[in-house]
Structures are given as C-alpha cells and as structure tokens.
C-alpha cells in the first residue's frame, strides 16, 4: 500500500516535472514583454470604453498613461478620486483637473420650430439631414431624431419634444455625442457653466425669426447685462465666452430678460422643455 502511494507520487511528480520543464522552455522561447502596470491602470479605469479620452477604449488609454503619453485626468469619466488613485499607483502627477460637459445649443423643439414637412425615412439625424435638410424649418437646428441620445454611453441625453437635451448631472463630458450631430450643435463646455445661449444658427435675425420662436437675434441685451467679456458676438448671434471667468450665472439671465428666450440656465431650459410634465428634478445641475 505504502509503495503504491510512493510510486503514485513519484510517477505524478516526474510527469509534472517534465511538463514544468517543457512549459518553462516554451515560455522562454515565446516570451512577450508586458507591463503589469497597464493591467493595474485598466482595473482602475471605469471601463466604459467611451473614447472620450481620444484613445480607442480604456485599454488603449491605460497603455498611454503608463507610457506617460497622457495624464490620467484625460479620462473624462473617472472621478477625481479615481484619477488620483491611478496617479498614486503609478507615482505620477494627476494633472490639473478640467472637467467638461456637453450641451446642445438649440432650443427649437417642435413647439418652437415649425415642422415644415412630413418626414418618411430612417430615424437618424445623419440620414434625415441628407433628405432635404430634415423636416424642421431651421436648417441649423436640432433634427430631433436622437442620434446623439443613442450614442451616449451614459444615457445623459434625453429627447424631449423632438429636441435633444443634456442632463448635466449625468454627462461626463466624454464627447461621444459631439461627433454624431450632423448639425454640430453639441459643444463641450466647462462643467461649471450654467447659462447658455440655445441657438446655433448663423443666419440673419429676420430669417431666423421666420423659422423659429426662440432664436438668438443678436440684440446684445445679454452682453449689456452681463460682465464685460462674458459674452461675445459671433456673426449674427451672441455666444457665451466659455473660457472667460467668471461664467455668467442665473442673475444675468434675469437681468437680460432675453427677448426671444434663448438665453437660459440649464435648469430653466429643462423646465421649459418639460413644460407639459411636472418638473421633478429640482437639484438639476447642482
């Protein structure tokens, strides 16, 4: 009996030893250099693969961070704690933090903008924009087919009354939506901005008025009520100067009393779009 055990151990041991040697040799022959830190960083990343950092997914980003090609805070999704934990793990600087969010600069929902024609086709903004410029009257406004909403990995864009509205509290500023919009209405703005001019149409005021109830007509009332430099003229419209500090707050909106109502805080904008529904989210954008 004892011998059986002994022989079994010996037998198994010899085979195991043989196999071990083979594995050792093979892995020496076919060795691939790899950096364990990449796996480490990858584990600390959110793994949404949104591409907001400009790299092809989180794994690519992790590689770049380890290689020192880009700072860990380039990931728009990670919170600052996550970013600093990555930095700690690698023993590098986290980089200064600059957070962004997306905003759809158009206020033309179906109530404000005429639906000129009936549209029969693929429910997608790019497709619609190619068919006679889409069904809505403004050739520069939101097409309302929701391509951006579908592209958002975080579900931060809601289609209300055929208009895309970004929920700032859900948006991480990855920018996935920006490139889906055939009208280029989506802009990445500083996360602490609150007031926007919801119009992107570059045409003259009377033409805008023909097609939309809430265009920016370039009256400059906002410029007068706000601080110097908070707004700037951009062709036939005004835009918020997002790189100017401090950014305009709600009081500017009140003071300006925009004649068309395209200068709004995010809260107001959402509330208007939700007019038919009760406004539930009080703490929006807080």
Partner 1 sequence: MSERVIPPKPLSFPGGIHPAKDGKGLTEHKAVEKAPLLEDYVVLVSQNVGAPPKVTVKKGDAVKKGDILAEAGGFVSAALHSPTSGVITDIGEAPGPMGVNVPAIFIKADGLDEWSDKLPAGLNWREASADELKSRIASSGIVGMGGAAFPTHVKLSPPPDKKIDCVILNGAECEPYLTADHRLMVETPERVLAGAAIMGKILGVENIAIGVELNKPDAIAALEARAQEYGVKIVGLKVQYPQGSEKQLIYAITGRCVPTGGLPMDAGCVVQNVATAAAIYDAVAEGHPLIERVVTITGDIVVNPGNYLVRIGTPVIKLVEWASGVKSEPRKLILGGPMMGFAQKSYNVPVSKNTSGVLLLGGAEIIQYESSSCIRCGMCVRGCPMHLSPGPLSMLIENEKFDLAGQNHVMDCLECGACAYACPAHRPLVQHMRRAKAEIRRAGKK
Partner 2 sequence: MSEENKSAIMMPKADDLILSSSPHIHSDVNVRKIMLKVILALVPALIASVIFFGWDAVRVIVITALSAVVAEGLWLWLAKRPLTPLRDLSALLTGLLLAMNLPSNASWWICVVGGFLAIWVGKQVFGGLGHNIFNPALVARVALLIALPAAMTTWTPTGGLLEKNMRLPSGENVSITTVAESEAPAVISCATPLGEAAELKRTPNGAATFAPITEKSDYVKYFLGERLGSLGETSCLALLIGGIALMFMKLIKWQIPIFFIATVAVFTAIVHLCAPAMTPPPLFHLLTGGLLLGAFFMATDMVTSPMTTGGCILFGVGCGVITCVIRIWGGYPEGVSFSILLMNALVPLIDRLFQLRPFGYVRKRA
Partner 3 sequence: MEGNTNYLEITIGAVLVYNFVLSRFMGVCPFLGVSKRLDTALGMGGAVIFVMAIASFATSLVYQYLTTEIEFLGHHLNLVFLKITLFILIIAALVQIVEVILQKLSPPLYKALGIYLPLITTNCAVMGAASINAQEGRGILAATLFGTFSGIGFALALLIFAGLRERLELSQIPRPFQGMAIALITAGILAMAFLGFSGIC
Asked if 67 is part of the footprint of partner 3 (rule: CB under 8 A), the reply reads: no
Asked if 32 is part of the footprint of partner 3 (rule: CB under 8 A), the reply reads: yes
Asked if 4 is part of the footprint of partner 3 (rule: CB under 8 A), the reply reads: yes
Burial of 254 (0-12, 13-18, 19+ CB in 10 A): exposed
Q: Cα–Cα distance between 200 and 122 in angstroms, integer?
A: 25
Asked if 30 is part of the footprint of partner 3 (rule: CB under 8 A), the reply reads: yes
x/- mask, partner 2, residues 259-278, rule CB under 8 A, reads: --------------------
Tell me which of 13, 47, 132, 246 binds partner 1, using CB under 8 A.
132
Asked if 26 is part of the footprint of partner 3 (rule: CB under 8 A), the reply reads: yes
Q: Which is nearer to partner 1, 137 or 268 (CB)?
A: 137
Q: Cα–Cα distance between 247 and 232 in angstroms, integer?
A: 12
Q: Which is nearer to partner 1, 208 or 221 (CB)?
A: 208
Could you give the 3-state DSSP secondary structure of residue 161?
A: coil
Min separation Cβ 30 and partner 3, Å? 4
* Sequence-ordered list of residues with C-beta below 8 angstroms from that of 57, at least 6 positions apart, any chain: 49, 51
Residue 150 to residues 139, 159, 187, Cα–Cα distance (Å): 22, 10, 17
Q: Cα–Cα distance between 169 and 179 in angstroms, integer?
A: 21
Min separation Cβ 115 and partner 1, Å? 10
Q: Cα–Cα distance between 265 and 249 in angstroms, integer?
A: 8
Residues 99, 173 contacting (CB under 8 angstroms): yes
Stretch that binds partner 3, among 17-25, 123-131, 188-196, 274-282 (CB under 8 A): 17-25
Whose tokens are 């939309």? That residue is 212
From partner 3, partner 1, partner 2, none, interface partner of 203 (C-beta below 5 to 8 A by class) = partner 1
Min separation Cβ 139 and partner 2, Å? 13
Asked if 206 is part of the footprint of partner 1 (rule: CB under 8 A), the reply reads: no
**Gyration radius of the chain's alpha carbons:** 27
Asked if 121 is part of the footprint of partner 2 (rule: CB under 8 A), the reply reads: yes
73-96 b/e (C-beta count within 10 Å ≥ 16 → b): bbbbbbeeebbbbbbebbeeebee
Q: Which residues bind to partner 2, rule: CB under 8 A?
A: 116-122, 127, 130-132, 134-135
Q: Which residues bind to partner 1, rule: CB under 8 A?
A: 116-117, 120-124, 126-127, 130-135, 139, 179, 182, 203, 207
């Amino acid at each position: 009996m004892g011998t059986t055990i002994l022989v079994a151990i010996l037998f198994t041991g010899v085979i195991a030893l043989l196999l071990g040697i083979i594995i050792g040799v093979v892995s020496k022959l076919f060795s691939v250099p790899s950096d364990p830190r990449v796996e480490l960083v990858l584990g600390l990343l959110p793994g949404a693969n949104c591409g907001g950092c400009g790299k092809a997914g989180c794994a690519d980003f992790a590689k770049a961070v380890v290689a020192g090609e880009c700072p860990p805070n380039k990931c728009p999704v990670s919170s600052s704690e996550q970013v600093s934990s990555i930095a700690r793990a690698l023993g590098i600087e986290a980089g200064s933090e600059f957070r962004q969010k997306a905003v759809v600069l158009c206020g033309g929902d179906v109530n404000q903008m005429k639906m000129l024609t009936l549209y029969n086709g693929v429910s997608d903004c790019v497709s619609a924009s190619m068919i006679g410029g889409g069904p809505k009257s403004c050739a520069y406004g939101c097409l309302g087919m929701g391509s951006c909403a579908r592209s958002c990995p975080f579900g931060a864009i809601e289609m209300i009354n055929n208009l895309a509205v970004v929920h700032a509290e859900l948006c991480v500023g990855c920018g996935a939506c920006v490139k889906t919009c055939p009208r280029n209405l989506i802009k990445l703005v500083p996360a602490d901005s609150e007031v926007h001019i919801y119009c992107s149409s570059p045409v003259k005021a009377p033409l805008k008025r023909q097609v939309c109830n809430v265009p920016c007509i370039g009256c400059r009332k906002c410029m007068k009520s706000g601080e110097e430099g908070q707004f700037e003229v951009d062709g036939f419209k005004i835009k918020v100067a997002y790189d100017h500090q401090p950014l305009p707050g709600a009081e500017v909106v009140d003071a300006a009393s925009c004649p068309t109502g395209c200068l709004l805080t995010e809260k107001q904008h959402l509330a208007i779009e939700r007019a038919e529904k009760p406004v539930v989210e009080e703490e929006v954008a807080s």
